[in-house]
Amino acid sequence: MTESNRVRIVDSADVAADAVIGDGSSIWHLAQVREGAHLGENCIVGRGAYVGTGVQMGDNCKVQNYALVYEPAKLGDGVFIGPAVVLTNDTYPRAITPEGTIKSAHDWEPVGVTIERGASIGARATCVAPVTIGAWATVAAGAVVVKDVPAYALVVGVPARRIGWVGEAGVPLTLNDAENVWICPTTGDRFVESEGTLSKETA
């Protein structure tokens, strides 16, 4: 194990020499972090997880066991990627060309998934690139996301659809009909819904 005050990388992990791993981060057993990946501070990459070439990850992210984060994904600060989540990067996947030859890196253009600050992707969910998951949104376990998810949305199912809103604490918001506002039962934060989006009230 490589361990210092800055970074912990277990011996069985495969971390490219030019990957940037922020202070306080941990890379666990059998994980792979590819060339040019950039992880912020205090990130955790779990057992068997894959972080692709050039993936950008903010501070305080968690990539749980066996998740696959394919390039060129971009994760904001505090993003949670659950066990066995897949972030795809090929809109029209094929193993071979129309002529029958094996496709090479030059035969397709990778496209990425963008996940904004504080959002969570539940276990075994799949996000089909190119999509953006808005800040503090929650994708339920097993969902398949094929279109953009607005900030604070709670989405479930195949394909994923919004069934409610969540606050920054991760719990569903409740609607106060009298004031026409959504309220977080944990923090007391108040939100206003307008044309399919949610915005936080400011003092």
Q: Domains of the chain (ranges plus CATH)?
A: 2-168 (2.160.10.10)
- The pLDDT score that the predictor gives to residue 108 is 85
- Residue 89 in this model has a pLDDT that exceeds 60: yes
Of 10-24, 94-108, 120-134, the range with the lowest mean pLDDT is 94-108
Mean pLDDT of 132-161: 98
- Residue 1 in this model has a pLDDT that exceeds 70: no
Through-space distance between the first and last CA atoms of the chain, rounded to whole angstroms: 48
Cβ atoms of 65 and 48 closer than 8 Å = yes
Of 2-16, 65-79, 100-114, 174-188, the range with the lowest mean pLDDT is 2-16
> Nearest-CA neighbor of 16 among 59, 55, 63, 74?
55
Instruction: For the chain, give the number of residues.
Output: 203
**What is the share, in percent, of the chain residues with pLDDT greater than 90?**
88
State CA 44 to chain mean position distance. Answer: 13
Cβ atoms of 155 and 145 closer than 8 Å = yes
- Residue 67 in this model has a pLDDT that exceeds 70: yes
User: Average per-residue pLDDT in the chain?
Assistant: 95
- Residue 3 in this model has a pLDDT that exceeds 90: no
- Residue 41 in this model has a pLDDT that exceeds 90: yes
- Residue 143 in this model has a pLDDT that exceeds 90: yes
Q: How would you list the strands of the sheet with 80-81, edge to edge?
A: 2-3, 7-9, 25-27, 44-45, 62-63, 80-81, 120-121, 138-139, 153-156, 161-165
- Cα separation, 22 vs 39, whole angstroms: 6
Can you name the residues that pair with 36 across neighbouring β-strands? none
- Residue 105 in this model has a pLDDT that exceeds 90: no
- Residue 80 in this model has a pLDDT that exceeds 70: yes
Note the pTM of the prediction, 2 decimals.
Answer: 0.94
- Residue 77 in this model has a pLDDT that exceeds 70: yes
Of 58-72, 118-132, 143-157, 177-191, the range with the lowest mean pLDDT is 177-191
State CA 122 to chain mean position distance. Answer: 9
